[in-house]
Amino acid sequence: MLQVSHRDQNTLASTKAIILVGGPSRGTRFRPLSLDVPKPLFEVAGHPIIYHSLKAVAKVPGLREVILVGYYDEGVFRDFIKDASLQFPNLRIQYLREYKALGTAGGLYHFRDAILKGKPERIFVLNSDVCCSFPLNEMLKLFEDKDAEAIILGTRVSNEAAPNFGCIVSDSHTKRVLHYVEKPESHISNLINCGVYLFATECIFPAIRTAIKRRTTRPRLVSYPSSENLETSFIAEDDEDSQRPEILRLEQDVLSDLADSNRFFVHETRDFWRQIKTAGSAVPANALYLQQAFQAQSEELTPPSASIVPPVYIHPTAHVDPTAKLGPNVSIGPRAVIGAGVRIKEAIVLEDVEIKHDACVLYAIIGWGSKLGAWSRVEGTPTPVSSHSTTVIKNGMKVQAITILGKECVVGDEVRVQNCVCLPFKELKRDVSNEVIM
Ligand code: GDD
């Protein structure tokens, strides 16, 4: 934690945080789980994805206000905000809804009056779909040390994975960002944008305004490369959405301009970082947050024992037979019932799931209210720790590495489900592998 003097408290009090939560149409790769819950509220390590970002924000000294910006319906975050406000009483949390998707900078600009209320000097901007240790205080320190206009959180990935992200070329000595390219076509750097920023308010809003002016005088001819269309190989040159002048992306429209100033710096984290895009990516995110909680000796986790290989989270209302063996990296949701002799490893079991005796669940997500029969086996394939993908190549074909059962699926006794994605309400009576069950 930063040590802060009384004088600094006042300065730090003028920092706010914005979490970009996106909206329903963006959750398509998170299917089938996003059919039943908005992605930011999906639970990993016992808490909604955005709870983990809020927890980090709550540790920034003097930060009092968090604004979730997105285009989900008004009511979607109501209960979450109510609960989170009790857990983080030092934070005022509100949700501001864009009338339609305005892009990562468009929403910020649209709500600039609300954001600038109280005259904050700095704003943190966090993508909601990343899992990391959020070293916000280190970013704040770099911001102060360099008298910066902007700080971006960066991490190193393999050269192969880098073009799926925003790439940063920096001066390794001064940490200054020299060049920024969003999802470049050829290799420029393996230091990538983690989707976490700290901006001086006096700099970011004028920078967005400049981008708006440029868009009006010089509209784009091709669409933005988003990871959505990279994944599906769909290059939307005539995609109406990306052509709308009100859509503004921080990454494509603003960050490369900031790199032209000499007050844009990168804080490179060596701690964990992952994107949460596909439903399968919730499994590594669950593991990473559980490991973080274990290192912090969190009392939320179940103590290690002969049948608990840490880290494991079991909701207090779940019932786990003492002969079941769980872990590592397992979360068990509310009211789940886990029978005798069950084995669960690297998995998320959601609320009201029932798993009968001697079943085995590995590298999988078991959807709300699903039922697994006795001696059944639901399993995915482990992905390398360093991988930023949740698919693997098998017999020359790309297959899902994590097996996912949607809400209220039923797996018969002794049935084996391997590397599959199963839509809600399906009943599996025979063995299946490498299939999407619709
Ligand atoms: N409020 C709001 N409005 N949020 C949005 C909108 C919008 O119109 N569009 C996207 N978001 C949110 C998403 O919910 C997500 O949290 C974040 O902004 C980024 O989403 P994408 O636009 O899909 O970008 P990306 O994930 O392909 O790439 C971004 O994140 C990577 C790190 O995860 C870029 O910032 C990359 O440079 C970066 O490497």
Q: What is the CATH number of the domain that holds 352?
A: 2.160.10.10
Q: How many domains does the chain divide into?
A: 2
Residue 109 lies in a domain: yes
170 within domain boundaries: yes
Please tell me if the CB atom of residue 166 comes closer than 6 angstroms to any atom of ligand 1.
yes
Cβ(21) to ligand 1 under 6 A? yes
Strand partners, 365: 348, 404
pLDDT value at residue 306: 95
Amino acid 331: pLDDT: 98
In a domain, 152, yes or no: yes
In a 3-state reduction of DSSP, which class is residue 231?
A: helix
Domain range for 210? 6-275
Ligand 1: atom nearest CA of 247 is 8
Residue 282 lies in a domain: no
pLDDT value of position 34: 81
Whether 235 and 307 share a structural domain? no
Pick out the chain residues at pLDDT < 50. Answer: 1-2, 4-7, 9-10, 221-225, 228-243
269 and 358, same domain (yes or no): no
Alpha carbon nearest to ligand 1 atom 17, residue:
127
Q: What is the DSSP string of 142-198?
A: HHHHHT-SEEEEEEE--TTTGGGSEEEEE-TTT-BEEEEEES-SS---SEEEEEEEE
Does 292 reside within a domain? no
Instruction: Looking at the structure, tell me whether residues 187 and 93 fall in a common domain.
Output: yes
- List the residue whose alpha carbon is closest to atom 5 of ligand 1: 22
Kindly give the number of the ligand 1 atom that is closest to the alpha carbon of 127.
16
What is the predicted pLDDT for the residue at 129?
95
pLDDT at 51: 98
- Same domain, yes or no: 28 and 136: yes
Quick check: is 1 in a domain?
no
The set of residues, in sequence order, having a beta carbon less than 8 Å from that of 193 and lying 6+ positions away, is 152, 153, 154, 165, 166, 167, 168, 180, 182, 251, 255
**Residue 318: DSSP 8-state:** -
Ligand 1 contacts CB of residue 22 (under 6 A)? yes
- Answer whether residue 32 is part of any domain: yes
> pTM to 2 decimals?
0.91
Which one-letter DSSP state was computed for residue 102? -
Q: Whose CA is nearest to atom 19 of ligand 1?
A: 127
Same domain, yes or no: 323 and 254: no
**What residue's CA is closest to ligand 1, atom 37?**
166
Model confidence pLDDT, tens digit, residues 401-421:
899 999 999 999 999 999 999
Q: What is the pLDDT of residue 170?
A: 96
- Please tell me the distance between residue 43's alpha carbon and the centre of ligand 1 in angstroms: 19
Same domain, 257 and 332: no
Q: What is the pLDDT of residue 36?
A: 84
Do 369 and 264 lie in one domain? The reply is no
Burial category of 185 from C-beta neighbours within 10 Å (exposed 0-12, middle 13-18, buried 19 and up):
exposed
> Considering the domain boundaries, does residue 294 fall inside one?
no
321 within 8 A of 338, measured Cβ to Cβ? yes
Is the C-beta atom of 227 inside 6 A of ligand 1? yes
